Amino acid sequence: MLIETSRLSLRPVEANDVYSLFAIYGDPKTNQFNPRGPYPDLEFAREKLNGWLREWPDYGFGHWAVSLNTLPDNIIGFGGLSIREGYENHRVFLGYRFATSVWGKGLATEFASAALNSGFELFGLPQISATVRENHLASQRVLEKIGMQKVGFQGDPVHGVGSYLYRQTDQRGH
């Protein structure tokens, strides 16, 4: 499902996105708030991408490759809606990551807003959640700008930095 915003094109991920995925998720700068660190190699990226490729047929939603409308063949980020187990009353999560070259331009907010709206309007999801590290202020601002509410905190004794849990429910009365 192709989605366009004023500046972005979102299309479901494809198998040949693996090089762009590794370039973005393998970059230490894009992982400064990720305790698992960058993807170690192309094969790891391929395994992750294979999981994302199964989301669309299994759930009817999933991850998108994100590009600028003006440069549709140049992937600048990835993000989407995914199922996560182990969170009470939270099942569908919003996530995203963008190349450092496009940081600070409001593109994450534009993407996150489009993904959230799609989750409610196109996919009929009743609620969408997100987690963000307590020291990742930029991502917290993105989630708050799109109307998500901070509803909890989860400590992380292994990595020392916990995460806030955000949630938004469909406000359309469905």
Tens of pLDDT along 36-52? 899 999 999 999 999 99
For 119, phi and psi rounded to 5 degrees?
-60, -40
Q: What percent of the chain has pLDDT over 90?
A: 86
- The pLDDT mean for the chain works out to 94
Name the residue type at position 129.
Answer: S
CATH of the domain spanning 3-169 = 3.40.630.30
Q: Pick the closest to residue 92 from 125, 118, 117 (CA basis).
A: 125
Tens of pLDDT along 72-88? 999 999 999 999 877 66
Residue 101: pLDDT over 80: yes
pTM: 0.93
Q: Which two tokens stand for residue 83?
A: 């199922």
Q: Pick the closest to residue 68 from 115, 6, 148, 147 (CA basis).
A: 6
Residue 159: pLDDT over 90: no
Average pLDDT value for residue range 79-98: 87
Query: Which of 3-7, 110-114, 127-131, 170-174 has the lowest average pLDDT?
Result: 170-174
Q: What percent of the chain has pLDDT over 70?
A: 94
Q: Domain-by-domain residue ranges, the chain?
A: 3-169
